[in-house]
Amino acid sequence: MSTFAELLLNGLSLGSVYALVALGFVVIFRATEVVNFAHASLLLAGGYVTATLHDDIGFWPALLAGVAGAALVGAAVEFLVMRRYRGSDQSVLAIVTIGVDILLTTELTRRIGTDVLALGDPWGDAVLTVGPVSIAHTRIAAFVTASLLITVFLLAFRFTSWGVAMRAAAESPETAALMGVRLGRVSLGAWAVAGGLAAVAALFLTVFPTPGLERATSLAALKAFPAAILGGLDSTTGALVGGLLVGVTESLATGYQSDLTFLGRGLGDLAPYVVMVAILLIRPAGLFGTKELARV
Amino acid sequence: MSEVLTRDETGGAVRPVRRRRLRSPAPRAAAGGVCAVVLLALPFYVDRFWLEAGLFAMAAAIGAIGLNLLTGATGQLSMGHAFFLAVGAYGYCVFAADGSDGPVGLGLPAWLAAVLAVAVSGIAGGLFSPIAGRLRGAYLGIATLALIFIGQHVLFNARDLTGGFNGRDVPPLSLFGLTFDDRELVVADVPFGSAEKLWYVGLLLLLGGALFARGVLRGRPGRAMNAIRDHRIAAGVIGVPVARYRAGVFVLSSMYAGLAGVLLALVFQRTVPDYFGITLSLDYLAMIVIGGLGSVAGAVAGAAFVSLLPQLLTRYSDALPLVSEPGMGGIAPGEAARYLYGAAVVAVVLFLPGGLVRLAARLRVKPRPGARVTPRPGAVEGEER
Amino acid sequence: MRTTHTARLAAGALAALLVLAGCSSKAKDGGGDKGSAGGVKTGEGISGKTISLGVLTDMSGVYATLGKSVTQAQQLYVKQTNAAGGVCGYKLALTVRDHGYDPQKAVSGYTELAPKVLGFTQFIGSPFVAAVKQRIDGRDKALVLPQAWSATLLGSPYIRPIGSTYDIETINAIDFLMKEKGLKKGDSIGHVYFEGDYGENALTGSRYMAKQAGLKVVEQKIKPTDNDMTGQVVALKKAGVKAVVISAGPRQAASLVGVAAALKFGVPVIGNNSAFAPQLLATAAAPALEANYYVASPSLPIGADTPKAKKLVADYKAAYPKDSLDNGVVAGWTAASAFGEALKKACAAKDLTREGVDKALLTVDAFDPGFGTTQDFSDPKAASSKESVILRPDKNAVGGMKVVREAEASSVAQGYTPGA
């Protein structure tokens, strides 16, 4: 039982980090209808800035710098690349983000080289033990931070003018533009927010129990794809639920892999995708996604 | 061959005029003839390295044509193309191997195995199409991503079928008593190994695949596919059986991928699961974007660009400025290739909508002052929406 | 009208083709061996007084860390050998191709280099070695020294891994746990291993050892993308294992040891030689690693107390001051010097053809590259050594490792035949 509880808690905290990444996807998708494959490199960029600066300016300022840096990179991508596209096919834009991702990831991995960079977080490898269940402080911090950020974001989405503008843009770009919403600014903001969220996620993906930031860290962003999709690409609640679901599934599939050997070993990576396909079969727009309304 | 034109042909009225202006048959045929001669003669002159690179490009071109039918012409984003390549490659091994080297093999004649492998890829596509039929756009893209992960899991774990991590040997193709392996066959004093022999197989398959796809795109199905891409519901309303077409294109594109997989396996002489990962799928998407969405020539051009660029850079790394020899610090050739590749994807979409084929079409039109250039097809495409 | 035109063109093309083919430079000119200079027979890969050697490495992909160290060590070896006059009057030249762990580039790299080089001092990625094995064995017959220690690579007279393979290394590792860490008959051990032949070859070893010693193995398979070992540790803790073997990458080892320490699960952990990198000692996992982690290795570490190791450290630092010293340097140096040894023997036998070099390596049966273990290349079916050194991380040591147990082949390892 304590094993189950440990795996569940671990899965939840991991899932909340995935949710942060997935939320970034969703924000960009809502604002621009583009699937952002460059998210992995935003994550790496944020982590890299934090890792290189923490020795000189301390952890918290470095983290802020990381968030700002990744937000800046996100905004730059929007301003320099996405905005210049004149066509109207969103899947072409999705492919452009693949190109952007290749560029950014190559540059960052070249800089990181063969190092494993520590992020200098204050939690170290401390562990909280309650009865038979132990959980790392970093995990608790991840869960708390992620829930806090997501709540703030949901509120902002609902009540600030920026949030309203973004929702309007998602609803109908033409109408929003006519009503005076600056679409460019909305999408710029979306990319910056996604970058910032990715930087926070990068922090929690590279602290204990993971040794540090290195070239493969960005692969974690791949797990946010199923999270974003199974929740529904245009739903912020969906990103949260999807992230948690992916985290818990992964954690349980790993922890109980010896009981599942008939499926082959190493299921942890696969399980989220299987869950995703199963959910999409029942609900093609994800759990919380808006069903398509057709207008001809 | 510009399919770019075909797309405009749906416009109707401009067609006869443009045909006459752009296609005076003699120079085009002559250019084609020269190309054909060069392609046919290459195995007599160039090294195995270049032939192999060319074969990789041909296989990529076949796969990219398939993806372009699906993503470019019908607007179904697929990130699972690598999975169907794997089905083709491993399918061929299973059917053709005799089972003596470990993993299961049925020992069928190699040509039959190749045909069956392509068929199996099509069936795999057909099995997935009920899921694909329910999803749209980004949802479909990411759902197909699941195929990659599931596929790799199977490739690594079903050892009897796939040989596991180190893959399995690919039995050589044999046709009419000629075996396409490394046993040397001397033609006009030139020793022919597997690469030289396969070169002609590759050319034939590519030509066949390209012509067939062109036929599909130019005919009724092509217009239906474009209609689905541009407005699915409108297409349904005017009587295109949308679901049937979408499933059909998915199967066809999977078969192309399967064929590309078979050819790749024959060139590699061994299939390894590492190859069929997410990077490969993304490469194929990049190919069709760089080359030109929705056109056969675009797929071929993009495939050549994406698969030859790294080879060129690695091979001539010593001679390039800025690129340093491996182990000497600075930008390694592998990294330089990634930069160029990423930049090419971005630049093509931003500055060259329509891809390399559009560039070629423009260059072809330019030297004739006085020729009336029709409105840029990009604009037409936009209006159709 | 169009058809006849096309037909005429095709006919013309065919005629042109046949005429042109006659004067191809690829046409056979009948020359086989390039003959002999100074009584030494030479063949492919030698032009004038230069021996070309190939390196197929990964410096931009997942094994970049290993590839960089191995390649730089080999470049250093070549430079020093040439400065000392080369191998019996021939200079060595390395041609490096970085395949970035991409199968297509690896195969192309092999195709490009195979006709030009005498042999390969490095070939990273055992799937790729497997991919070109048919060609190496069937046609090219060039000596290839892969930088992988899987027993699946054994058996070919041309592809020769150096040192103990992972299965043997794992047997020695568990032997160490039993002799010095209190593991005893009837206990369970956990084995966390990578998907693929590294992990699976190591698993063969631990299963064999478990059968011989009456242990039970609890298996946990992971992927190279898994960086958080919490799930694995929880599962192993639940299974009540008394020790853990890890056959994965450095990051996974660091995570595993860190999590185990944090969860007060204080069993000893031992890894294969690829499961450690000195860079880890700069991270938060360092104290846990120093406290409870061991590594089995086919040779002494780079920081060993032997004259050759000290010289290598000094030279490498001088040549590449910015790069870290790790066991890849030892592996690269060992491979290059084994190749050099084979070249010397081949030259003494007046036969520097590929065949001559292959044969010469078979006569090398007690080669000591200066890192504690002796290599015997006389049997292509067996690993060149059955000995492993047990190391442990130490911040203060050069290369981050110090020796716990000198080179030793356990009795079980001696009785073990790979593939049996």
Contact criterion met (CB < 8 Å) for B188 and C134: no
Percent of chain C beyond pLDDT 70?
A: 90
Predicted pLDDT at C38? 62
Contact criterion met (CB < 8 Å) for A268 and C223: yes
Percent of chain C beyond pLDDT 90?
A: 33
Residues 270-299 of B with CB under 8 A from C: 270, 272-275, 279
> b vs e for B145-175, b when ≥16 Cβ sit within 10 Å of the residue's Cβ?
bbbbbbbbbbbbbebebbbbbbbbbbbbbee
Q: Which residues contact B101 (CB under 8 A, 6 or more apart)?
A: B168, B169
Judged against a pLDDT cut of 80, whether residue A115 lies above it is answered with no
- pLDDT per residue as tens digits for the range C300-338: 888 888 888 899 999 999 888 888 888 889 999 999 999
Q: Which residues contact C33 (CB under 8 A, 6 or more apart)?
A: C41, C42, C43, C353
A229 near B146, Cβ under 8 Å? no
Give the DSSP letter string of C69-130: HHHHHHHHHHHHHHHTTTBTTBEEEEEEEE-TT-HHHHHHHHHHHTTT-SEEEEE--HHHHH
Q: What's the CA gap between A118 and C254, in Å, rounded?
A: 12
Predicted pLDDT at B4? 41
Contact criterion met (CB < 8 Å) for A209 and C259: yes
Please tell me the pTM assigned to this model: 0.86
In three-state secondary structure terms, C389 is strand
Report the DSSP beta bridge partners of residue C192. Answer: C220, C246
C140 near C114, Cβ under 8 Å? yes
**Measured between CB atoms, does A101 come within 8 Å of chain B?**
yes
B287 near B303, Cβ under 8 Å? yes
Predicted pLDDT at B120? 96
Predicted pLDDT at B329? 56
Identify all chain A residues contacting B382, using CB atoms and an 8 Å cutoff. Answer: 87-88
For C196, which residue in chain A has the nearest alpha carbon? Answer: A266
CA distance B217 to chain C (A): 22
Nearest to B40 among C17, C108, C134 (CB): C17
Cα-based distances in Å from B303 to B362, C43, C70: 20, 37, 34
**Measured between CB atoms, does A114 come within 8 Å of chain B?**
no
Nearest to A88 among B141, B143, B382 (CB): B382
Higher pLDDT, A125 or C310: C310
CA distance C21 to chain B (A): 6
Q: What's the CA gap between A139 and A207, in Å, rounded?
A: 9
A189 near A166, Cβ under 8 Å? yes
Q: Which residues contact C94 (CB under 8 A, 6 or more apart)?
A: C53, C54, C55, C74, C75, C78, C121
For A278, which residue in chain B has the nearest alpha carbon? Answer: B131
Range A149-174 average pLDDT: 84
Predicted pLDDT at B19? 44
- pLDDT per residue as tens digits for the range B14-65: 444 444 444 556 777 888 888 888 888 888 888 888 998 999 999 999 999 9
Identify all chain C residues contacting A118, using CB atoms and an 8 Å cutoff. Answer: 282-284
Nearest to A116 among C195, C237, C251 (CB): C251
The single residue listed with the structure tokens 């970085």 is: C98
Predicted pLDDT at B20? 45
Low-confidence winner among A21-35, A127-141, B36-50, B371-385 (lowest mean pLDDT): B371-385
Please tell me the number of Cα atoms within 13 Å of A12 on its side-chain side.
13
Q: What's the CA gap between C332 and C228, in Å, rounded?
A: 30
Predicted pLDDT at B14? 40
In three-state secondary structure terms, B112 is helix
In three-state secondary structure terms, C195 is coil
Give the DSSP letter string of B56-108: HHHHHHHHHHHHIIIIIIT----S-HHHHHHHHHHHHHHHH--STTSS-----
Q: Which chains form contacts with chain A, at 3 or more CB pairs under 8 Å?
A: B, C
Predicted pLDDT at A287? 86
Nearest to A225 among B75, B136, B142 (CB): B142
CA distance C39 to chain B (A): 30
- pLDDT per residue as tens digits for the range C338-382: 999 999 999 888 888 998 999 899 988 888 888 888 889 988 888
Nearest to A255 among C234, C250, C324 (CB): C234
Identify all chain C residues contacting B46, using CB atoms and an 8 Å cutoff. Answer: 26
* Helices B48-67, C103-113: crossing angle, 10 deg rounding: 160
* pLDDT band for position C7 (cuts 50, 70, 90): low
Judged against a pLDDT cut of 60, whether residue C35 lies above it is answered with no
**Measured between CB atoms, does C371 come within 8 Å of chain B?**
no
pLDDT values of chain B reduced to their tens digit, one per residue, 385 residues: 444 444 444 444 344 444 444 455 677 788 888 888 888 888 888 888 899 899 999 999 999 999 999 988 888 888 899 999 999 999 999 999 887 777 888 888 989 999 999 999 999 999 988 888 888 777 888 888 889 988 988 888 888 888 888 788 888 888 877 777 777 777 777 777 788 888 999 999 999 999 999 999 998 888 888 888 888 888 888 888 888 888 999 999 999 999 999 999 999 888 888 889 888 998 999 899 889 888 899 999 999 998 888 888 777 766 665 555 544 556 777 778 788 888 988 988 888 878 888 888 877 665 544 444 444 443 333 333 3
Identify all chain B residues contacting C97, using CB atoms and an 8 Å cutoff. Answer: 314, 326
Nearest to B156 among C13, C131, C195 (CB): C195
Contact criterion met (CB < 8 Å) for C255 and A209: yes
CA distance B200 to chain A (A): 33
Identify all chain C residues contacting A215, using CB atoms and an 8 Å cutoff. Answer: 64
How many Å is the Cα radius of gyration of chain B? 21
- pLDDT per residue as tens digits for the range C284-304: 788 889 998 999 999 888 888
Predicted pLDDT at B88? 95
C68 near C27, Cβ under 8 Å? no
Predicted pLDDT at C28? 54
Low-confidence winner among A262-271, B306-315, C398-407 (lowest mean pLDDT): A262-271
Contact criterion met (CB < 8 Å) for A10 and C238: no
* pLDDT band for position C212 (cuts 50, 70, 90): very high
Range C409-417 average pLDDT: 88
Following CA atoms A97, A103, A104, A109 in sequence, which dihedral angle do they give, to the nearest 10 degrees? 140
Q: Which residues contact C379 (CB under 8 A, 6 or more apart)?
A: none
Q: What's the CA gap between C323 and B143, in Å, rounded?
A: 42
Predicted pLDDT at B235? 85
- pLDDT per residue as tens digits for the range C251-268: 899 999 988 988 888 899
Cα-based distances in Å from A55 to A52, A209, B179, B182: 7, 21, 64, 58
Nearest to C284 among A14, A208, A214 (CB): A208
Q: What's the CA gap between C316 and C75, in Å, rounded?
A: 10
Q: What's the CA gap between B300 and B322, in Å, rounded?
A: 30
CA distance C285 to chain A (A): 6
**Residue C41: how many other CB atoms lie within 10 Å:** 18
Q: What's the CA gap between A91 and B137, in Å, rounded?
A: 7
B–C CB contacts, 8 A cutoff, strictly below: 153
User: Longest C-alpha distance within chain B, in Å?
Assistant: 68
Contact criterion met (CB < 8 Å) for A92 and B137: no
Q: What's the CA gap between A250 and B33, in Å, rounded?
A: 57
Low-confidence winner among B60-64, B81-85, C32-36, C65-69 (lowest mean pLDDT): C32-36
Contact criterion met (CB < 8 Å) for A116 and C283: yes
Predicted pLDDT at B2? 41
* Helices B81-96, B278-291: crossing angle, 10 deg rounding: 120
- pLDDT per residue as tens digits for the range C221-245: 888 778 888 888 888 988 899 999 9
For residue B11, give both structure tokens: 């416009």
Predicted pLDDT at C14? 55
**Could you report the predicted ipTM of this complex, rounded to two decimals?**
0.86
